[in-house]
Chains A and B, each alone.
Chain A
Amino acid sequence: MAMLEIKDLQVTVDGREILKGLDLAVNKGEVHAIMGPNGSGKSTLAHVLAGKDQYEVTGGTVTFEGADLLALEPDERAAKGIFLAFQYPLEIPGVTTMNFLREAINAQRKKRDEAELSPPEFIKRVREVAAKLGVDQEMLRRPVNVGFSGGEKKRNEILQMALLGPKLAVLDETDSGLDIDALKVVADGVNRLRSPERAMVVITHYQRLLDHIVPDIVHVLSRGRIVRTGGKELALELEAKGYAAYQDEAA
């Protein structure tokens, strides 16, 4: 059985149906890209997987490692190993990045009946990962994302991902708002986290991210359904031809 199995998923937001019977299976070790035009339901899929309240699941199932994912609270899903890298990471005034990371790691460990990290152990781990991502110590002492540039915010997301070590990472438009240098740094960070034990779902509008994070499988999402699945060459085709053909197909 696949690590993540989505069957006939239907989701409404504010009474509007956004996902209309989506099927997707992701095995561990695989990197899937989900591409599609604006409004096709990409971000909705990401948020539903992470457990956001405002999204109402009206039909279908989502199973993660054989268990019903939809029955779990967002924090329980995180502890099970699901990580959402936000398209727009939020600013949290008054909570330092260091404190936020400590809270998150220890909450997850506690839920998994693992011992909390000792402060020196925690600091050592954060420093190592931060250094690899070019996140400086000063940033860690500042409130989460407050006054950070777009690139710094995205790097902070990848830093969190690296420290939390999820089984399934969902990257929601991680390339948005990044210049090419920032994009490379973020993509390198993501690539270092690829492993046979970890799956990734990379959501993007543009092909350029996939030059750097090369997917195993590419899906086209249009009007709430996966309308085509192929290899990495599908992304190039989309880049050349655009989404127009799929929008007609789904209509």
Chain B
Amino acid sequence: MTAELHLVKTDAEAALAATFASAKARLPGGRGVAASREAAFRRFEASGLPSRRVEEWKYTDLRALMRDAKPLAEPPDATRGKPSLIDALPGVDAHRVAIVNGTYLPAWSDLAGADLGVTLTDLFAWVGDNLSAWQDLVADESDLATSLNQAFMTGGVVVRIRKGARVAKPIHLAYAFCGEPAAMYPRTIVLVEPDAQATLIETFEGPAGSDYQVNAALTLSIGDGARVERIKIGREGASALHIETITGAIGARADYNELTFTTGSAVTRNQLFLRCTGDGAKVRVAGANLLKDRQHVDSTLVIDHASRGCESREIFKSVLDDESRGVFQGKIVVRPHAQKTDGRMMTQALLLSDRAEADNKPELEIFADDVQCGHGATSGRLDENLLFYLRARGIPAKRAEALLIQAFVGEAIDGIAHEGLREMLTGRVTAWLETRG
């Protein structure tokens, strides 16, 4: 039955198959990588692009949204000037790691004065030396978007933070796209050894008029007692399709705090699969989406409490204008032995237009009996009474709205420890509000 259904391929599926057939011989990596590419592509091909009939993709029908598959992006000409796109963090002092069109470019990166505790290796150089570690890391990847990334991945980096290292400056993974519309498949691995501390920033940028495609994957391994903050800023061009999948394992007593801030791309799917693998870990996952026109952003996450006494907090805020759509699918899983789990999930949407839509699907799957878990979801308009209160004090309507929207989004942003980033993102919210009519 399944085979029959997929006798007819969509244009995008046919293009993906043709691209894979012609490119696989020249894609980087040794024989081990080639075998895993082949297996991943077969896995994808067996089910094809997910449609709304697949529960996990119900609100983001990739089969319908992805009309075609672009050719693989070529590495940029590094002898020419670097695109300004990768200077994406004004006012924040960080070590930049440039990943342009899916390729790591040391020449455009800036690691001067980097901590001794940080090592940066080209993805395929690392995989060549650590094939079995690589195979272990990706063994559980069954998700369709990640399978495609694994089949096509063209480059990326492996960031290793050594045991006990305190990395002062954030490490900035600056992903950018330039050139004719194409598809990029960067893959990044971040290995944080026990008791290390680091801040990781990912930015995604690209030209406004180009319908390029991004399918990025980040594999995250956080050791016992480590402290990691990760901020992702999705500012792709307005016509781009963007998918990123994070697969992470959080060790015992580790503290992991992340925020995903999205204003860009036509279609975005942010996937997060986190597993607490050691006791007493603390996880905070936040999201802020500011959308207009017909933008579509899907935040899909699974927090898997596989150990005792872990705490997770999820807070997602979407501001939806025009005909935009915000999707939240969040699942907290508590395994039978993960007693004393404390999990709370909240998703809130602010609808600025009658035609905007918010879809919230929170789920709890609890198999242990001594846990505290809860979730909440709200969507609504700005509170008329609050607006009147502000206006009665002399604040004009537009400004009153802006203050309330900023306060709404602020709850997600305020959880970031890095002050400079917090201020920069607050500024981005202001800038976004100023673009509203």
Contacts and interface: CB of A to CB of B under 8 A. Distances in A.
Interface residues of A, number: 29
B391 interface: yes
Contacts of B397: 73, 75
A107 B399 contact: yes
A104 interface: yes
Q: Is chain B's interface secondary structure helix, strand, loop, or mixed overall?
A: helix
B424 to A, nearest CB: 18
Interface in B370-412: 384-386, 388-397, 399-400, 403-404, 406-408, 410-411
A218 interface: no
B: interface residue count bin: 20 to 34
B392 A51 contact: yes
B408 A79 contact: no
B101 to A, nearest CB: 39
Contacts of A207: none
Given A93-B411, A94-B406, A78 B389 contact: no
B395 A90 contact: no
Q: Quick one: which of B389, B403, B404 has the most chain A CB within 10 A?
A: B389
A127 interface: no
B331 to A, nearest CB: 27
Contacts, number: 75
Nearest to A91: B386
Contacts of B399: 103, 107
Given A93-B407, A103-B403, A86 B394 contact: no
Contacts of B407: 92-95, 143
A171 interface: no
B396 A94 contact: no
Nearest to A94: B407
A79 B391 CA distance: 10
Contacts of B388: 50, 52-53, 74
Contacts of A75: 391-397, 400
Nearest to A85: B392
Q: Quick one: which of B396, B408, B411 has the most chain A CB within 10 A?
A: B396
A50 B394 contact: no
Nearest to A104: B393
A84 interface: yes
A4 to B, nearest CB: 16
Contact of B408 (A94, A100, A108, A164): A94
A78 B403 contact: no
A88 to B, nearest CB: 9
A10 interface: no
Q: Quick one: which of B385, B395, B404 has the most chain A CB within 10 A?
A: B395
Contacts of B389: 86, 89-90, 92
